[in-house]
Chain A
Amino acid sequence: MSDPEASRPFIEAANPEHPSLLDPLHQLDSLFGVVNIPNVIWIDEEGMIVRPPEPGWPPGDGYPDWLRGFVDERAAAAEKKAAEIEATDPEMAAKIRGGQDHASYADAIRDWADKGADSEFALRPDEVIATSQDRPVDKSEGAAHFELANRLWSTDRDAAIVHFNAAHRLDPENWTYKRQAWSLVGNEKAGGGEMGRFNQGPLPGEEDEWPFEGTFTSEAGRTPAGDYYPKTL
């Protein structure tokens, strides 16, 4: 998943004018507090962070046709569930419906491009620090386990799995730790190929062989949008 060849097709298809880099050691997690993808960080001309990592998307609907249906289904299911919960737990209903607004993120970037430090979206240094991801020492320990897991993946699979599970337990809010682990195993189980990495759980009938405590469906699938992609704008 960290190999250049996993990302190359997407980068070459987009043919961007900006640099595209690889982060196989998940340095962005440790250095900035990235916990999911996509996460976006704003840095000004002087090298000051003005927005710490948060969910963010390009303008318009970037979903390819084959994913569009799944996205629409999930949105409809979430709305239905929120409507059912509304009467008894409006806070939870808001979380299920809520989360970061996709459509307005690019407008916020444009506002900052125009106005710089005067943009309402550019945070002061103390605000940047205060709104960055919380990190008790448990999460530092989780990060250390995650690094060992990735390092040992190709040489000691059993040890890597132990470290991945420790990382997930110590930092349950870090979705990149989970998605990386689920994809590494799921990709192999599915036989690789273009779609293998999207397999983030056991194949039917193979549930007993799945080495992790959760899967994408069991965890992210039931997490309210407000917790999975928290609203920050």
Chain B
Amino acid sequence: MSTGFVARLRIGSERWDALSVITETLDISPEAFEAGTGWQIKPEGACKGEVCVPLPDGWSAAYAADRLGMAVVHDDSGLTAFGPESLNGRALVTAQAPKVVLPDLDGNDFDLASLRGKKVVLVAWAPY
């Protein structure tokens, strides 16, 4: 089972390290919060791209989620999921591409940032 924000999922016969915003505890470190949500916790507050949201009351994941407009949903199983931010009423608060690390078919992580210096067309599709 997962702890914190970085979850190991079993998909088929493979194990994937995957970013997840599902957690068994709300006692999440700033580093884990960043790994799961892409928001980096700095002295200025929670930051993504050029946007920083101050956290005057200090650090807690629930407080940061509230400041960022992230919904928090609990399941009876003990899992809690954080939704993405809804700060400005849009999916994007910045045009800077977020950190994206996803596995290929063989389970090897690929970092989108490795394509910096090239134009990228990212196509989302599904086998259905």
Contacts and interface: CB of A to CB of B under 8 A. Distances in A.
Contact of B120 (A4, A43, A133, A138): A43
Q: How large is the interface on A (under 10, 10 to 19, 20 to 34, 35 or more residues)?
A: 35 or more
Interface string B62-90: 00000001111101110101111110111
A61 B120 CA distance: 22
A19 B110 contact: yes
Given A134-B91, A140-B70, 7 more contacts: A19-B110, A25-B20, A28-B100, A48-B95, A56-B123, A109-B121, A145-B73
Report the 4 A-B pairs with minimum CB-CB distance, sorted nearest first. Answer: A33-B91, A140-B83, A125-B95, A141-B71
B92 interface: yes
Contacts of A22: 102-105
A197 B128 contact: yes
A198 B91 contact: no
Given A28-B124, A125-B94, A129-B90, A23 B12 contact: no
A185 to B, nearest CB: 12
Main secondary structure, interface of B, reads: loop
Interface in A169-201: 176, 179-180, 183, 197-198, 200
A1 B123 contact: no
A139 B90 CA distance: 10
A208 interface: no
A116 B117 CA distance: 12
B51 to A, nearest CB: 10
Interface string A28-40: 1011111001111
A87 interface: no
Interface of B: 9, 11-12, 14, 16, 18-22, 38, 69-73, 75-77, 79, 81-86, 88-98, 100, 102-107, 110, 112-113, 115-128
A40 B123 contact: yes
A179 to B, nearest CB: 6
A47 interface: yes
A58 B83 CA distance: 32
A136 B102 CA distance: 27
A44 interface: yes
B119 A23 contact: no
B119 A136 contact: no
B124 A4 contact: no
A176 B126 contact: yes
A113 B118 CA distance: 10
A7 B14 CA distance: 14
A132 interface: yes
Contacts of A109: 121
B56 to A, nearest CB: 21
A11 interface: yes
Contacts of A1: 126-128
Given A33-B92, A132-B90, A140-B70, A47 B84 contact: no
A134 B12 contact: no
Nearest to A48: B95
